[in-house]
Amino acid sequence: MQETDIARRGLVLLGCGKMGSAMLEGWLARGLPPSSVHVIDPSPSEWLQGTGVNLNGETPADPALVLVAVKPQMMSDALPQLQPAAGGPTLFVSVAAGVSLQRYEVMLGAATPIIRAMPNTPAAVGKGITAIAGNAQVTETHLQTAEDLLSAVGEVVRLEDETQMDAVTGVSGSGPAYVFHMIEAMAAAGEAEGLAPDLALALARATVAGAGALAQESGEDPGQLRKNVTSPNGTTQAGLEVLMRDEGGLRQLVGETVHAAAERSRELGRG
């Protein structure tokens, strides 16, 4: 990052667990001065203590941005200490799952610009994707600021409406766990066919990672990529006939999985 309003006025990071640490590491790598960052975390890691950021001290009266990265159940205890910065020019961005913009407005006031963001765990290696949506006080400049910050850990997409956040949670927020289970299932199937456990896991892990990279970087439709590696009456077709069957196939199973996660997100949002 170049010298910006954030570098001048400061950024407050409330909570610095895995997600907060991943984002902070990305910001510092881009050139954000550690002296401009104020972190509030009751149990700072050894890594955090060595970054040179301001830790658990007095925070600016009107920082450019407050990023809320605490767990939802800790919100009511953690957020009040930053209420003095609410209602003014400070932008609040939250990566806490299941906490609606309306709930933040109750805690911070409806005049506060607030952006809700849903990142996912690949952010830890800079390969995440984050969806964002803002309240009525959020401007294009606010959205661009949030995009610039969150892009430190991967891609950023804007939602048309906050109601889409539950679907995002079901697809990308919870999605990495589905893929991890796919790796587990492929490795177990490899073992069942006679492979050693370590070899089966290595093959499954590399196959999923490589296929994901190819889908991301080739720009081709995933359906076309599938066809490219499926020879008529070959081994891939034999496997796909199981995965793509109408009843109980992968499309149906994934649809039910994403729906269940999205529904749970809606339930949590109703609180």
pLDDT, tens digit, 9 for 90 and up, residues 78-112? 888 888 999 999 999 999 888 899 999 999 999 99
Instruction: Consult the annotation and say whether 78 binds a ligand.
Output: no
- In order, the DSSP letters of 154-206 are EEEEE-SSGGGHHHHIIIIISHHHHHHHHHHHHHHHHHHTT--HHHHHHHHHH
Structure tokens at 231: 């020879």
From residue 78, give the alpha-carbon distance in Å to each of 17, 83, 88: 14, 10, 19
* pLDDT at position 15 over 80: yes
Assess contact for 177 and 268: CB atoms under 8 A: no
106-127, pLDDT tens digit by residue?
999 999 999 999 999 999 888 9
CA–CA dist 157, 22 (Å, integer): 18
Q: Where do the structural domains in the chain lie, given as residue ranges? A: 5-164, 173-270
Higher pLDDT, 2 or 265: 265
pLDDT band with cut points at 50, 70 and 90 for residue 229: very high
CA–CA dist 262, 258 (Å, integer): 6
Instruction: Consult the annotation and say whether 269 binds a ligand.
Output: no
Whether the predicted model's global pTM rises above the 0.85 cut = yes
Which fold, 5-164?
A: Rossmann fold (3.40.50)
Q: Is CATH 1.10.3730.10 what the domain over 173-270 is classified as, yes or no? A: yes
Assess contact for 93 and 118: CB atoms under 8 A: no
From residue 216, give the alpha-carbon distance in Å to each of 149, 172, 226: 22, 14, 14
Mean pLDDT of 35-51: 94
Instruction: Consult the annotation and say whether 15 binds a ligand.
Output: yes
Instruction: Consult the annotation and say whether 233 binds a ligand.
Output: no
Instruction: Consult the annotation and say whether 127 binds a ligand.
Output: no
Instruction: Consult the annotation and say whether 192 binds a ligand.
Output: no
CA–CA dist 30, 25 (Å, integer): 9
Instruction: Consult the annotation and say whether 18 binds a ligand.
Output: yes
